[in-house]
Every structure is written in C-alpha cells, then in structure tokens.
C-alpha cells in the first residue's frame, strides 16, 4: 500500500489550475492503485509560520536539550518532516508567482530542509536523507517558461529541483501547464496537454 503526500500551494481556492491538475493526477493514481493513502498538506489554506530567530534556535538545539518552549516550536516542523519520511510519492502543486514559488511553499521548504534531519554533511559534502521517493511537480504558469526566450526567467523549476535534491529527493518529474494567460483557448490547450501527460505517466 503506497502513501502519497499531496502539497498544494496556490492561494486560489477556485479556478486554480495547479489544484485541478494535482487533483486529477491523484484521482487517477488512486483508480490505478486502490488502497493508496493520501495525506494533503495545503500550505495556502493553512499557512505555515515563517522562520524566526526562536524557530532556528529550536532547530539547532538537540531535541533532548530543548526547553519546553523550544520543543513546542519545533513540533510543527517535526510533523512536516515525518510526513515526508512516511510518503512513498510526493505530489506538489506549484504555480509560478513572480517567476518563482509561492511564499507558502517556501515556508514549507524552510521547515523541512533541516540539517541533521533531512540532510547531513559528510566527508564529501551534503547528503540528502530523504531517498527512495518519487516526486511529481505540477507547475502552472501564465507564460511559457519550459523552453523559448522566457526559459531563463524560470526560477521555480531550478529552485525546486535544487532544494529538493539537496534533501535527497532527486527522482523528480515536472509536468507543466503553460500559457494560462493566453486566453481561454490557451487554458484549454494547457489542460489537454497536462491530462495527456498524466495518462502517459499513469497508463491504464
């Protein structure tokens, strides 16, 4: 029995393309893999606190040496990290805001990219500890950034591939829904292409 961790980050509750396509993917996965457990973490509907000096202090204090206050502060991060370790598959809805990820998704990353927890430093440099997991990232962009003249402005994909790889999540597949600001025809074309890609990833 597999477990999916679904992370949605769009601030839009309605008409969100990234939510629509992650939902389609997860539904088709469940249809093909009955019994799959899905855990959803909605970092827009339930925003995570941004890091503070107190948060960092709790992170860098060994668990058995934390004060009661530090233990309480670290509790949220510990639960987010555990969700990652428990998951077999991670599905992320990542709309592009100002050429990068949403602040909500960045806050989630800040809580799970933990030295000594999800990565460590070895003799040859950093080593990611979240291994053996598959990641699917569904992007949603107004323009076209996967290729062409705007490709250099895509800091979303390059950042996610880098930071997730740093914690050991290196098996990543990106699915792009692009050209969403190019009218209704553009949206229909993008959704059709994304559905086709999902069917290719999850053959019947």
Interval 47-90: pLDDT, tens: 999 999 999 999 999 999 999 999 999 999 999 999 999 999 99
Q: Is 96 annotated as a binding residue?
A: yes
Whether the per-residue pLDDT at 95 is higher than 80: the answer is yes
Confidence of residue 1 (pLDDT cuts 50, 70, 90): confident
> Please, are residues 178 and 145 in contact by the beta-carbon 8 Å criterion?
yes
* Whole-number pLDDT of residue 195: 97
Confidence of residue 11 (pLDDT cuts 50, 70, 90): very high
Interval 104-115: pLDDT, tens: 999 999 999 999
Q: Is 146 annotated as a binding residue?
A: no
* Whole-number pLDDT of residue 204: 76
Can you say whether the dihedral through the CA atoms of 95, 93, 51, 121 is positive or negative? negative
Q: Which tokens hold the place of 184? A: 């209704």
Q: Is 98 annotated as a binding residue?
A: yes
Beta strand residue intervals within the chain, DSSP E: 3-8, 37-42, 89-95, 119-122, 125-128, 134-140, 171-177
The closest alpha carbon to 179, from 155, 144, 152, belongs to 144
Interval 130-177: pLDDT, tens: 999 999 999 999 999 998 999 999 999 999 999 999 999 999 999 999
Q: Is 32 exposed, middle or buried (0-12, 13-18, 19+ CB in 10 A)?
A: exposed
Q: Rg of the chain's alpha carbons, rounded to an integer?
A: 18
Q: Is 174 annotated as a binding residue?
A: no
Q: Is 17 annotated as a binding residue?
A: yes
């Amino acid at each position: 029995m597999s477990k999916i961790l679904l992370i949605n980050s769009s601030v839009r509750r309605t008409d969100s393309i990234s939510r629509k396509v992650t939902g389609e993917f997860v539904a088709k996965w469940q249809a093909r893999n009955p019994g799959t457990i899905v855990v959803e973490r909605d970092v827009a509907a339930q925003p995570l606190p941004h890091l503070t000096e107190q948060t960092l202090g709790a992170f860098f204090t060994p668990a058995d040496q934390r004060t009661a206050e530090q233990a309480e502060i670290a509790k949220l991060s510990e639960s987010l990290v555990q969700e990652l370790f428990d998951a077999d598959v991670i599905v992320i809805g990542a709309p592009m805001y100002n050429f990068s990820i949403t602040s909500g998704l960045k806050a989630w990353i800040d809580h799970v990219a933990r030295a000594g927890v999800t990565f460590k430093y070895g003799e040859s440099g950093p080593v990611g500890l979240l291994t053996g997991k598959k990641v699917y990232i569904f992007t949603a962009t107004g323009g076209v950034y996967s290729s062409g003249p705007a490709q250099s402005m895509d800091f979303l994909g390059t950042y996610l591939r880098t930071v997730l790889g740093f914690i050991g999540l290196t098996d990543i597949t990106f699915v792009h829904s692009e050209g969403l600001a190019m009218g209704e025809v553009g949206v229909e074309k993008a959704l059709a292409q994304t559905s086709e890609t999902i069917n290719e990833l999850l053959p019947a």
